[in-house]
């Protein structure tokens, strides 16, 4: 457990390997929920939340079920099942316990159920931190940290996009490019900008 490693994970997840703009995962909410900053922020928080808890659950299942039974090759299908069930459960609990939170986050939770960014961070954790011979509990801890910063990166990308799109609505866009088409172009330019970070060596 080294501080420098955590910092490198943070910078890597937020900027260099940003899930949306560098890995191109979770593009559906990126274009779908980025019209208003408020909605984008709620979505980002929901993603951080789901990512952290699903990273914990998936790494536990990986260590205590998949590896002992020698069925690591089934990880994708296991993880999808776990994440989907978990998100459903969370949705029910939030709806019951905190209607206010449900109003803010609830409608985004079903969107995340099968979001590829959430699955992506789980798979990435397994590939990076659970190589044979490494200590298991450190791996789980790093997984959670990586998932948290991946969520932050997701949130940052969503907020940037929504900020741009809100201003874009007032610009004189050619009619055929209005809405989604120009959003795609903006996304491409943002992605190019984030490519600049890949020059960093950590």
- The rounded distance, in Å, linking the Cα atoms of 19 and 44 is 12
Q: Which positions from 47 through 76 interact with other proteins, judged by CB under 8 A?
A: 65-66, 69-71, 74
Contact flag: residue 23 with other proteins (CB under 8 A): no
Pick 96 or 167: Cβ nearer other proteins: 96
Give Cα 31 to chain centroid, integer Å.
14
- The rounded distance, in Å, linking the Cα atoms of 154 and 33 is 12
- The rounded distance, in Å, linking the Cα atoms of 130 and 128 is 6
Pick 21 or 90: Cβ nearer other proteins: 90
Among 76, 88, 134, 198, binds other proteins (CB under 8 A): 88
- The rounded distance, in Å, linking the Cα atoms of 30 and 42 is 13
Angle of the 136-168 helix axis to the 37-61 helix axis, nearest 10: 160
Beta carbon of residue 60, minimum distance to other proteins (angstroms, whole number): 13
Pick 104 or 164: Cβ nearer other proteins: 104
DSSP letters along 118-138, please? Answer: HHHHHHHHHHHH--TTS-HHH
b/e per residue 4-16 (b: at least 16 CB within 10 A): eeeeebbbbbbbb
Pick 93 or 189: Cβ nearer other proteins: 93
Beta carbon of residue 2, minimum distance to other proteins (angstroms, whole number): 34
- The rounded distance, in Å, linking the Cα atoms of 188 and 184 is 6
Total of chain residues touching other proteins, rule CB under 8 A: 18
Among 95, 144, 166, 168, binds other proteins (CB under 8 A): 95
- The rounded distance, in Å, linking the Cα atoms of 52 and 31 is 23
Selected range binding other proteins among 6-14, 83-91, 132-140, 181-189, rule: CB under 8 A: 83-91
Pick 83 or 161: Cβ nearer other proteins: 83
Beta carbon of residue 200, minimum distance to other proteins (angstroms, whole number): 40
Contact positions toward other proteins, by CB under 8 A?
65-66, 69-71, 74, 77-78, 81-82, 85, 88-89, 92-93, 95-97
């Amino acid at each position: 457990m080294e501080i420098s490693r955590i910092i490198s994970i943070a910078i890597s997840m937020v900027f260099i390997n940003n899930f949306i703009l560098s890995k191109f995962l979770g593009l559906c909410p990126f274009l779908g929920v980025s019209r208003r900053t408020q909605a984008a922020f709620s979505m980002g928080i929901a993603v951080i939340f789901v990512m952290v808890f699903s990273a914990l659950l998936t790494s536990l299942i990986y260590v205590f079920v998949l590896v002992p039974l020698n069925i690591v090759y089934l990880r994708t299908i296991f993880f999808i099942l776990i994440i989907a069930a978990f998100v459903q459960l969370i949705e029910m609990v939030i709806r019951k316990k905190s209607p206010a939170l449900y109003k803010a986050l609830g409608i985004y939770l079903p969107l995340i159920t099968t979001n590829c960014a959430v699955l992506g961070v789980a798979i990435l954790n397994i590939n990076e931190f659970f190589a044979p011979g490494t200590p298991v509990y450190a791996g789980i801890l790093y997984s959670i940290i990586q998932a948290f910063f991946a969520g932050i990166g997701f949130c940052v990308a969503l907020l940037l996009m929504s900020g741009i799109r809100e201003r874009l609505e007032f610009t004189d866009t050619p009619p055929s490019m209005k809405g989604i088409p120009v959003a795609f172009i903006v996304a491409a330019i943002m992605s190019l900008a984030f490519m600049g970070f890949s020059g960093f060596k950590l």
